Structure 1
Amino acid sequence: MLTSFFSNSRPINFIIVAAYILFFYLAANFNIFLSGSFWTILKESGVLLIIVLSVFLLNFISGRNELTGRNAYKSILFAGFICMLAPALQNNNVILANLFLLLSLRRILSLRSQKETVQKIFDATLWVGVASLFHFWSILFLFVVYFGVLVHVGHWFKNWLVPLVAILTLFSIATSADLLLTDSFYTFADWFQASNFDFTAYREPALLIPTAFIFALSLWSSFFYVTIIQKANANAKSSLFLMLLCALTAVVVAVLSPTKNGSELLFFFAPLAIIVTNYFQSMDDKWFKETLFILILLLPVLLLAVF
């Protein structure tokens, strides 16, 4: 059974996940690889590596902070979700922003060790800021940073000021770089991206079907996830709740995103992979779990074949 195969974290699992992503990435960007210039193909190959790196980073974050058991579920689930939506494999800015948000999440979760807290808060905020340079509304993940501060190190007032220092530092760097490269100041207008509330694209079956499936799965698994949080020990509870907050923030970011083609949902997939993995780990009905798992992996294939 597939669930049994991915119930362990072994090198072969990650090779399969990487191959799975490679197949759908090539399919989504086929024309670029077919007729693009050498530098364009090289750039797209780099983006592919970033997606694979994001999978490894998610697995590392989960293992280091005990968000799930030691299995490959979250890796293959993340791959399955992103491959359901071809635009998510084509939007380089969103892919880059998502990587930086994962780097930020890593630092936020590490705050519970109570060591080097100022540096970790600074790094986490800086990564969110860098992500916002590629996708403005990623800046909302600062709420996640402040939640981490509140839960772990909120009793020190200076910790609440560190994110402001980090944002000002990033602004100084961005302005200096802009002056050197374009001889102009980096302004809010250069950074800001207006929201777009035109969801017409979601009427198309190629977007409607996977989006409906993903949100139905997220709602269903979240009910069980909340129960898991309630039963967790005090040390793990805050980290598990943080993932739920990440998922909710990602939904808000997607709604406010200037692009409405499915790629804006990418920020939702990492926390969702953690939530669904916990759901799988708690399931007793093996046949239902197997069926659901296969459906997640086969849906991208069916969508590619039909649309």
Structure 2
Amino acid sequence: MLTSFFSNSRPINFIIVAVYLTFFYVAANFSLFLSAPVGVVFKELGMLVVLVLSVFILNFISGRNELTGRNAYKSVLFAGFLCMFAAALKNNDVILANLFLLLSLRRILSLKSQREIVQKIFDATFWVGVASLFYFWSILFLFVVYFGILVHVGHRFKNWLVPLIALLTLLSIVTSADLLLTDTFYTFSDWYQSSSFNFDAYRQPILLIPAAFLFALTLWSSFFYMLIIQKASANSKSSLFLILLCTGVAITAGVLAPTKNGSELLFFFAPLAIVVTNYFQHMNDKWFKEILLLLIVLLPVLLLSIF
């Protein structure tokens, strides 16, 4: 059965998820691959590598910080959620921003080790800043950085100043690069993206169906996730709650996004995959779990076939 196959973390599981992701990525960008110049095709293949790398980093973060058990559920769930939205597979800026946010999350979660604190805070903030260069509203994940500081190392005042230094460092690098390449200063208008609250696109079945499914899944699994947090050890509670915070920040970033086509939900998929994986691990109804996982895997196939 599908749940039994992905209940272990083995190389074959990762290979299958990578192939699954590759199929839908090629399908979403098929016309581009046929007509674009060779340079553009190689760039798109690079984006595919970034997506596969994102799955690997998510799996590493989850295992290293004991956010889930040693299984491949989070990998296949992340891929399934992502492949439900073709626009997310086409938006290179969001794909890159998501990679940098995962790198930031990795450093934030590692603060609980109490080693190399300043370096980890600097790195986490720097990666969030880099992500915001590609997708402005990913800057909201600074709230996650400061939550990590509050929970793990908030007793030292200097730790609260490190994010400011990291952002100033990034600003100086970006400004210097802009001056060298374009002979102009990088300004706030170059960085900022205005919000749009036009959700008309979600009236279309191709977006409405997966969005409604994920909304119901989020509400259902989050309820059980909160129960899991309450029963978790003191060492694990902060990390598990931080993932829940990431989910909330990702939803906020999606609401404030400049375009509403499904790609703005990409930041939401990694934390949701961890939340749903915890639900899967504690679910006693084997057949319901089997049907749910099968639905997540096959829904992208149905959407691709129908629309």
TM-score (norm 1): 1.00
- The percent identity for this pair of structures is 77
Aligned pairs for 1:34-49 within 5 A: 34-49=34-49
Report the equivalent of 1:139: 139
Q: Could you say which residue in structure 1 is the equivalent of 2:167? A: 167
- Rounded to whole Å, the distance in 2 between the matches of 1:39 and 1:130 is 24
> 1:292 matched to which residue of 2?
292
Q: Where do 1:166-185 residues align within 5 Å?
A: 166-185=166-185
Cα drift, residue 215 of structure 1? 1.0
Match of 2:7 in 1: 7
Q: Secondary structure at the match of 1:155?
A: coil
Per the alignment, residue 63 of structure 1 pairs with 63
CA distance in 2, matches of 1:275, 1:167: 30
Distance 1:278 1:193 in 2: 35
Once residues 35 and 26 of structure 1 are traced to their aligned partners in structure 2, the CA distance between those partners, rounded to angstroms, is 13
The Cα offsets for residues 167-225 of structure 1, whole Å up to 9 and x where unpaired, read as 01100001000000110111111100000111111111000000010111011000000
> Which amino acid letter does the alignment assign opposite residue 136 of structure 1?
F
1:240-293 per-position Cα deviation (integer Å, ceiling 9, x unaligned): 000000000000000000011000000000000000000000000000000001
CA distance in 2, matches of 1:119, 1:263: 32
| Cα distance between partner residues in 2 of 1:212 and 1:36 | 34
| Greater than 4 Å deviation, 4+ residue runs | none
Question: Residue 35 of structure 1: CA displacement?
Answer: 1.3
**Hey, what's the Cα distance between the residues in 1 that align with 2:190 and 2:92?**
18
- 2-structure distance, mates of 1:204, 1:242: 33
Q: Give the SS at the match of 1:186.
A: coil
TM-score normalized with structure 2 length: 1.00
Gap runs ≥5 in structure 2: none
Question: What is the letter of the counterpart of residue 234 of structure 2?
Answer: A
RMSD: 0.4
Match of 2:209 in 1: 209
Q: Secondary structure at the match of 1:115?
A: coil
Q: Deviations over 1:52-71 (max 9, x none)?
A: 00000000000000000000
Counterpart secondary structure, 2:258: coil
- Verify: 1:24 aligned to 2:27, yes or no: no
C-alpha distance in 1 between matches for 2:15 and 2:215 = 28
What corresponds to 2:258 in structure 1? 258
Q: CA deviation digits over 1:114-139, x for unaligned, max 9? A: 00000000000000000000000000
> What amino acid does structure 1 have at the position aligned with 2:79?
A
Please tell me the residue identity of whatever aligns with 2:174. Answer: A
CA displacement at 1:34 relative to structure 2: 1.1
CA distance in 2, matches of 1:297, 1:204: 21
The one-letter code matched in structure 1 to 2:223 is: F
Structure 1 residue ranges without an equivalent (≥5): none
Mapped partners of 2:259, 2:66: distance in 1: 34
What are the residue-to-residue correspondences of 1:216-295 with 2, within 5 Å? 216-295=216-295
